Amino acid sequence: MNVSKPTDLRPMPLRLFNTLTGQLDTLVPMDGATLRMYACGPTVYDYGHIGNFRTFLQIDVLRRFLELTGMRIHHVMNITDVDDKIIRNAAEAGIPISEYTPRYVEAFFEDMDALRIERPEQIARATGHIPRMVELVQKLAAAGAAYRAEDGSWYFRLSAFPAYGKLSKKDLSGMEDGARVDVDEYEKDSARDFALWKAAKPGETAWDTPIGRGRPGWHIECSAMAMEYLGESFDLHAGGEDLMFPHHENEIAQSESVTHKQFARHWMHVRFLLVDGRKMSKSEGNFYTLRDLLLKGYKASAIRLALISVPYRHQLNFTFDGLMEATNAIERLRTFHQRLVKGAFAAGESPQIQEAAQRAQADYLAALGNDLNTAEARAPIFELIRSANTAIDQGEFLAGDRDAILAVLASFDAVFDVIEDHDAEPTRKALAWAEQAGRMAEVAPELVARQSLSDEAIDALVAERTLAKKQRNFARADQIRNELAEKGIVIEDAKDGVRWKRK
């Protein structure tokens, strides 16, 4: 099933909330050609959870909408492959970090693919950019904004950057001059001189550099790599809301103290996800990785839709009811799409349907153009499906109407990407992973049953059913249909034979 290409829509402006200005600003590339953006990527110490993926998915919605409107983008994402947590976990596992992180990097990209999150144009690993970070620390030192502590670590001098706090708009008047923090996990409301470079501790991964033996702090990584690939000033910087302070505030301080130019013009922050109304945490028992949900039998497309359907600036309360709603919505979309593709319609166009399609398209784009309001963008599409279904039922739907509506569905899917069915692969991969990770006990029984039937076995059962029907053995035919249905396989009797698909 191929969803056709959407029609050209340029120019269609995006008004996006800017944390820095506190208002909706129109997003335009400052060089008039390519939108340069940086998004903070994952810290690869474990598998990504659905909160992480909510942020990456909302950034994907942004990307895809910009692409749909014809904008060219250059999107850089970092991978934090050295930090306190990674060092701690690798030490516990008794392996160097260079052996510890690759499996989580790989898992991250597998999960991104499962959720159909487009790859950024540039992916930058922290450990591959140490010299750039060292250079930046040297420049900060030369500008009087960095100093070396007794143990050989380097700190940013907060008092050297009076604009500190302009992004998060925190009142930092109680800030203690010279107080320092050297861990990557911060107290929420204190502003301190922060570590740029951490002197080597015995047994820890370290690099020998002109500023001493050690490793980078977390914040310097993003400043150095963003400027390396996007220049001293670029258009947009994005991440989850927890990063606004202190991480993004620190990125601004580090970068602007050296360049004296605005670092990023526009800042986008994705609101945190809650699960059943509470903060997601392992100790609360409401913590889910993508893999956990796939093994419970939910489809990757449903997880994608559930995580993007609430606009990025609203709190998303993730529930299993919400996931079922997304599953049903996708079923509705796919069934309708099939109905259009396979249906035979008389030539011509009906003015009402044409007008309804145009209106749905305009409303859909206007909703996304208004701060990426995904909830409002969905509504006109489902409304259109309802009225088109009615027209088809009443025999008032014509071939030209199909083309008009397929074009609307194509622009919907260019951003939402759930109509075309790619769900079998992520499930198959999750099962293979569970097997190898010894987690088969967590797998939903229906999922095991569904996967356990090979295509050939299904073909054989379907053939047996056809024969049973021919022999008027309807009891056996029904029995086979039910057996297959229990394993998630649906049989469709068509004029030209019998088809089956895995649900």
The site for Zn ion (CB under 5 A) is made up of 40, 222
Residue 52 interacts with ligand AMP (CB under 6 A)? yes
DSSP output for 414-458: HHH--SS---HHHHHHHHHHHHHTT-GGGS-HHHHHHHHS-HHHH
Interaxial angle between packed helices 374-393 and 351-369, expressed in degrees from 0 to 180 and rounded to the nearest 10: 170
Q: How far is the CB of 42 from ligand AMP (least distance, A)?
A: 4
* Backbone φ and ψ of 318, nearest 5°: -75, 130
Contacted entry of ligand AMP, Zn ion, none for residue 242, CB cut-off 5 to 8 Å set by kind? ligand AMP
- In whole angstroms, what is the distance from residue 350 CA to residue 358 CA? 13
| Stretch (H or E) spanning 308 | helix 300-308
Residues 252-281 that bind ligand AMP (CB under 6 A): 270, 272-273, 280
Residue 239 interacts with ligand AMP (CB under 6 A)? yes
Q: How far is the CB of 51 from ligand AMP (least distance, A)?
A: 2
Contacted entry of ligand AMP, Zn ion, none for residue 55, CB cut-off 5 to 8 Å set by kind? ligand AMP
Q: How far is the CB of 286 from ligand AMP (least distance, A)?
A: 11
Cα first-last separation, the chain: 15
Contacted entry of Zn ion, ligand AMP, none for residue 6, CB cut-off 5 to 8 Å set by kind? none
Q: Which is nearer to Zn ion, 130 or 461 (CB)?
A: 130
Q: Which is nearer to ligand AMP, 9 or 105 (CB)?
A: 105
| Stretch (H or E) spanning 213 | strand 212-216
Residue 55 interacts with ligand AMP (CB under 6 A)? yes
CA quadruple 333, 299, 59, 50: dihedral, nearest 10: 140
- Which residues, 6 or more positions from 301, have their beta carbon under 8 angstroms from its beta carbon? 116, 326, 330, 418, 421, 422, 423
Contacted entry of Zn ion, ligand AMP, none for residue 214, CB cut-off 5 to 8 Å set by kind? none
Q: How far is the CB of 194 from ligand AMP (least distance, A)?
A: 16
Among 36, 54, 157, 265, which residue sits at the site for ligand AMP (rule: CB under 6 A)? 54
Residue 380 interacts with ligand AMP (CB under 6 A)? no
Binding mask 1-40 for ligand AMP (x = CB under 6 A): ---------------------------------------x
Measuring CA to CA, which residue among 72, 58, 113, 120 is closest to residue 368? 58
Residue 117 interacts with ligand AMP (CB under 6 A)? no
Q: Which residue is nearest to ligand AMP (CB)?
A: 240
Burial of 200 (0-12, 13-18, 19+ CB in 10 A): middle
For 109, the token pair is 């990209």
Contacted entry of Zn ion, ligand AMP, none for residue 273, CB cut-off 5 to 8 Å set by kind? ligand AMP
Residue 51 interacts with ligand AMP (CB under 6 A)? yes
The residues pairing with 268 across neighbouring beta strands, listed in sequence order, are: 238
Residue 292 interacts with ligand AMP (CB under 6 A)? no
Contacted entry of Zn ion, ligand AMP, none for residue 254, CB cut-off 5 to 8 Å set by kind? none
Residue 293 interacts with ligand AMP (CB under 6 A)? no
Residue 42 interacts with ligand AMP (CB under 6 A)? yes
For 272, the token pair is 């945190």
Among 240, 311, 380, 426, which residue sits at the site for ligand AMP (rule: CB under 6 A)? 240
Residue 212 interacts with ligand AMP (CB under 6 A)? no
Q: How big is the site for ligand AMP, counted in residues (CB under 6 A)?
A: 15
3-state helix, strand, coil in the chain (%, to 5): 50, 15, 35
| Stretch (H or E) spanning 355 | helix 351-369
Q: Which is nearer to Zn ion, 40 or 82 (CB)?
A: 40
Q: Which is nearer to ligand AMP, 51 or 369 (CB)?
A: 51
Among 25, 121, 232, 242, which residue sits at the site for ligand AMP (rule: CB under 6 A)? 242
Q: Which is nearer to ligand AMP, 127 or 209 (CB)?
A: 127
Q: Which is nearer to Zn ion, 222 or 431 (CB)?
A: 222
- In whole angstroms, what is the distance from residue 89 CA to residue 81 CA? 12
Contacted entry of ligand AMP, Zn ion, none for residue 230, CB cut-off 5 to 8 Å set by kind? none
Beta carbons of 44 and 108 less than 8 angstroms apart: yes
Q: Which is nearer to ligand AMP, 238 or 405 (CB)?
A: 238
Residue 311 interacts with ligand AMP (CB under 6 A)? no
Beta carbons of 136 and 146 less than 8 angstroms apart: no
Measuring CA to CA, which residue among 273, 271, 331 is closest to residue 301? 331
- Which residues, 6 or more positions from 456, have their beta carbon under 8 angstroms from its beta carbon? none
- Which residues, 6 or more positions from 396, have their beta carbon under 8 angstroms from its beta carbon? 350, 353
Q: Which parts of this chain interact with ligand AMP (CB under 6 A)?
A: 40, 42-43, 51-52, 54-55, 239-240, 242-243, 270, 272-273, 280
